[in-house]
Structure 1
Amino acid sequence: MVTTPTTNTTDNFSLLPDDTVLDILTRLISDPRDWSRLSCVSSRFSNLIRSICCRSWCCHFIPNLAADLSIVRHVPGGWAALRKLSICCPGLHHAGVLLDEYPNPKCSRRPIWEPHFASAQRGFSREEGSKLLASRFRGDCLYVSQWPGCVHAETRRKYLLFRGVFKDFKETSVWKAVRDAKKSRIEAKCAFCDGKETWDLHSAFCLRRGLDFHQGEPVVRAFVCENGHVSGAWVEKPMYL
């Protein structure tokens, strides 16, 4: 009995050198979701995308931020997290907007709670980050997305969502403050990396004075993970009284 040899596509693909695979992957940038999908195909894809492709992307599209974060040590949370930070809005849940904003979860208009593609991708500013911090933390380096952020118009008010990252976070005065303020620690995943907990910058008194309350709600909500990624929201005036 004569058997016909079969071709194993997976084995043939494994023979391709990394340079060839990377050449293919770097051409898939029109849809930001492509790399996420391919990362689920194989560990080889995942390793190449997270370490090399994402680094190349960040160095090209946010060169100043990428250079400043990597000059001290490694990029906090990895290059894939930095790329996600640059293109994704954290969503209302990760920005600290409470779920009781939505009394009827079965309504036809589904609120966006989770990370999604940001409506504006204008880079990051250290000056804007400095405006958020209390005076005793001004020596820390915080980059935040430039205004206007991603606007979420809810029933009672508007939220301007922003995201950011601290440089060398574990060496900052903010980290020392949130680490010591045990009440500010909450079990909420970071929107950008694998961090399992975040700290409330408002209750840890890391935000500048004047960013207090409006209509019983903080003017600015801001949460930081152990890798220094920040998710937050400005509160605009109520849409009605």
Structure 2
Amino acid sequence: MVSASVGFQCPDCVREGGRTVREARTIAGAPVRQAPGTGTNAVVTKTLIGLNLAVFVLVLAVGDDVVDRLMLVGRAIIDNNWAGVAEGEYYRLLTAAFLHQEAWHILFNMVSLWVLGPPLEAVLGRTRFLVLYLVSAFGGTAASYLIAAQNQGSLGASGAIFGLFGAAIVVGHRMKADLRPLIALLVVNLVITFLNTKWIDWRAHIGGLVIGAVTAVCLVHAPKNHRLAAQVVSVGAVVAVLVGIVLVRTSQLT
């Protein structure tokens, strides 16, 4: 027998009843986890933080050679050789988003990720949240690659973090939450960005913000009847646009 709120039930009755109960879903299609200990536990958020910290430790241990190999750069001479995305090193569009040199830089980004990540991961689910983060990061690096000078280096998770800001606003609006604190925090970060353009890649921040918001719209406004298919197609279209931007810029530089 299986313990129930009103006495006991036989296992067959429990299984039969389970077949008729539809699992509750969030606005993005993720399972609703309300009971203590059954949530996402921010597994993806913690993993992303761990990857960023691991790369930071690698930079501290190895030095500038890792930075030269992983940072975003369009086309430049590094170690007496042409290098960069335009030279076929497309991996830089992703690796740059996990790369930090200064302690204050990674501290700021990881604290922001820890604040924004778990709530979004709970609403979107692990897979969708990971897709959001990576597409936002790609949006930031693609924007920087398109606009910045070809030999200007860029690194950091800030593009992805701003993507989470954009996504949080979209999700909050969809859930009719009070967005004023979040918008105020975003405005403060944008002001800091544009007051320090000498050290901060504003292109990556704006690119990540826009793409993160657009990706979130694709995830939380997909029709329920064909939600997964609509999400895959719409997010795929966003990625295709970013790939097109990268290819156009590459043709310009080569």
User: TM-score, normalised to structure 1's length?
Assistant: 0.30
- Structure with the larger strand share: 1
- Structure with the larger helix share: 2
